[in-house]
A = this chain, B = another copy of it.
């Protein structure tokens, strides 16, 4: 079954609202084996909506619309639907009664404007909305289906989960399954990853597809398969996923959209390792990433954001001579920072980082983007230098990612 999502609303087109509804629907449909072939966002204009419905109904078996069903005057989706099918709008007493009950519950009375909300295209089946006043609508037409839902996320989700999916299950049982396996990697670019794994995947059946999804500091490698037999599908996708994981080795930090921070937390928790950080140029971003994971207090003791040289000296005991001779952005300084933070916090492992995030502060010898990272434990400390970009936020994010990944690799090599 091929599906298209149409979202209606100027607020999406002018970037005032990010369309998270479509991603949610995409995810749920994908798991049920429904292929979303297109997502379209259109303006709050009758012609635009009608034209989008027309095109989508030509291409797909199922069209799901969200937005444009509320009580205000710009809600013209229903009219566009009625026009497309060439049917009248009819008044739904059932909907009005439901609105009245909801309003009475909140001690309000129903106004005349709510009656407009109760007109529906004559061929629509109503889908109950437990979370709000506007019902969803489903129209079955020549083996195709159009569904229109409110744009409020929790209302849309509730109607899809409780009404639409059971309806589809009953009336259009799926013949093929979809199965994904995503491998999370850090440390190599997509080209090198492709060079490593693609020669090993020559016999992969063509119902399994491979995609590389790069972002700052990491690449997700995704296998997606589609097959009538769920068992064969899972077995084959897992088989080729395993081959890739083995070949990629330690650059793999997890599967299925786990974050690097979560992976590091799992590793530390399993090995009962306590972690600390001493950050200069990343300014707290590394500890923010670590603490954004629920349960991080089990392994993260805390750390210092030693932004000024005074804090580096007074709290972390970095030598004044080191700062004068080598500068705050140097191998010697980050190693002393690491030594200091491990001593104060008594953590098992730690990260220290100092660099020139930019946009100013660079020199010929140490241009913007020069960042020193130290990682290790009491008995073994390593420092590496990275050369990042001229973009401050990118430098902060990239250096933090590299530091966390270096520590992950250090733990793998020294504790396992």
Contacts and interface: CB of A to CB of B under 8 A. Distances in A.
Interface of A: 10-20, 22-28, 30, 36-44, 48, 52, 55, 70-74, 105-106, 108, 111, 113-114, 130-131, 152, 154, 158, 180, 182, 189-192, 194-195, 210-216, 222, 224, 257, 277, 279, 282-288, 290-292, 294-297, 300-308, 310-311, 314-315, 344-346, 357-360, 387, 389-394, 396
A292 B396 contact: yes
A311 B359 contact: no
Given A16-B27, A131-B389, A194-B113, A291 B307 contact: yes
Given A12-B39, A105-B387, A191-B111, A291 B283 contact: yes
Contacts of A315: 315, 344
Contacts of A72: 190-191, 194, 212
24 contacts: A13-B38, A15-B23, A15-B25, A15-B28, A37-B42, A39-B39, A40-B41, A44-B211, A72-B191, A72-B212, A73-B194, A108-B189, A277-B305, A283-B290, A284-B284, A285-B291, A291-B357, A292-B392, A297-B308, A300-B307, A300-B308, A302-B304, A302-B307, A315-B315
B27 A190 contact: no
Q: Is the interface of A mostly helix, strand, loop or mixed?
A: mixed
A301 to B, nearest CB: 5
Given A16-B213, A18-B18, A38-B41, A301 B307 contact: yes
Contact of A284 (B111, B131, B288, B394): B288
Contact of A15 (B10, B30, B41, B297): B30
Contact of A12 (B23, B182, B294): B23
Given A16-B213, A27-B16, A297 B307 contact: yes
A74 B212 contact: yes
Contacts of A394: 131, 154
A317 B127 CA distance: 48
Q: Which of A131, A292, A357 has the most CB of B within 10 A?
A: A292
Contacts of A211: 10-11, 16, 44, 74
A25 B12 CA distance: 11
A229 to B, nearest CB: 21
A115 to B, nearest CB: 11
Contact of A295 (B131, B216, B360): B360
Given A38-B42, A55-B55, A301-B310, 16 more contacts: A12-B39, A15-B25, A15-B30, A19-B22, A38-B43, A40-B40, A74-B212, A106-B387, A131-B391, A282-B291, A283-B287, A283-B291, A285-B288, A292-B392, A296-B307, A297-B307
A61 to B, nearest CB: 15
Given A15-B28, A16-B213, A296-B283, A311 B105 contact: no
A290 to B, nearest CB: 7
